[in-house]
Amino acid sequence: MKVMIVDDELPARERLSSLLEEMAGYQVVAVASNGVQAVRLAQEVEPDIILMDIRMPGMDGLEAAGHISGMETPPAVIFVTAYEEHAFEAFETHAVGYLLKPVRRERLQEALEQACRPNRAQLGNLHDPSGQHSNARSHICARVRGNLELIPVSSVHFFQADQKYVTVRHDGGEVLIEEPLKALEEEFADSFLRVHRNALVSKARFCGMEKNSQGSFEVVLKNSRERLEVSRRHVAEVRRFLKSL
C-alpha cells in the first residue's frame, strides 16, 4: 500500500520511513512538511494511507485531513503526534488511527492494518465546512476542474452567496464552493463582517462606505473597483466598524 508521511520535523519523517522499510507491503510514495504540501501531494500521488502529524506551522494536520477528505477517493488518515490531548478531536474527524510519539513498530503495524480501504468510508464526514474545530481554517478548499484548490483565507476579499453556491473572490480570481454563508460567518467572525444577507467582506479589505446614485450604500474595497451593496439592516454595524479602524 502507498503511504505518505506528513510531519514538520525531519527526524520524525525519517523515523517513520525507517519503520515502514521494515514492513512488507508498504511503500513511502511521498513526504510533506506541512498541511498545504500534504493536500497538494495527496492529489498527485493518491496514497492509500497518510501518517499525519497534528501540530504543524500554518495549516495543521486536522485541517489538512479535512481538505483531503474532499478527494474522490480519500486516503485513510492515521494521526501521529506527541500530544495526547488531541486524541478526542482527532477521532471526532473519523481518523482510522492515532499514534503517540515516539512511535513503536508494533503500534504502527496495528494502525496500518486497520487502515484498509473499507475504512475510507469513515472519512466521508471528516471535512467539517461549518468550522466546528476550535480554530478557523487557514485555507478555503474548492474543487476546480476535478482538483482541490487551496485559497489562503488571508487572500479572500469576500464571500458572496448565490443560491446553493458561494463565490469566493480572492487575490488570484474567484472560485465556487458549496458551504453555507452562515457557517462561514460563524467560523470567520473575527476576520469577516456581514454587509448583506448574501455577502461577507474581509475586515482587512474595507476602505470605506459610500452611497451610490440610487441612494443605497456600498462597501468600497481596497485596491479594487468592485463594490458590494450594504443592506439597510447592516449599515449601522458597518459604520461602527469603519469608525473603529
pLDDT at 118 over 70: no
* pLDDT band per the 50, 70, 90 thresholds, residue 230: very high
Residue 139 has a pLDDT of 93
pLDDT tens digit string along 28-78? 999 999 999 999 999 999 999 999 999 999 899 989 998 998 888 889 999
| DSSP SS3 for 209 | strand
User: How many residues in the chain?
Assistant: 245
The domain 140-244 having CATH identifier 2.30.30.100: the answer here is no
Instruction: Provide the percentage of residues in the chain whose pLDDT is more than 90.
Output: 70
Amino acid 237: pLDDT: 96
Chain centre to alpha carbon of residue 183: 14
Residues of the chain with CATH 2.40.50.1020: 140-244
Mean pLDDT (whole number) for 137-166:
91
The pLDDT of residue 48: 94
Distance CA 156, CA 241 (A): 19
As annotated, the residues of the chain forming the CATH 3.40.50.2300 domain(s) are: 2-124
End-to-end CA separation in angstroms for the chain = 54
Q: For 176-211, how does the pLDDT look when each residue is reduced to its tens digit (9 = 90+)?
A: 999 999 999 999 999 999 999 999 999 999 999 999
* CATH for the stretch 2-124: 3.40.50.2300
Task: Tell me if the pTM is above 0.75.
Answer: no
Burial annotation 103-139 (CB, 10 A radius, 16+ → b, else e): beeeebeebbeebeeebbebbeebbbbebebeebbbb
* 64 neighbors 35 (Cβ within 8 angstroms): yes
- Name the one residue in this structure whose C-alpha cell is 479572500: 156
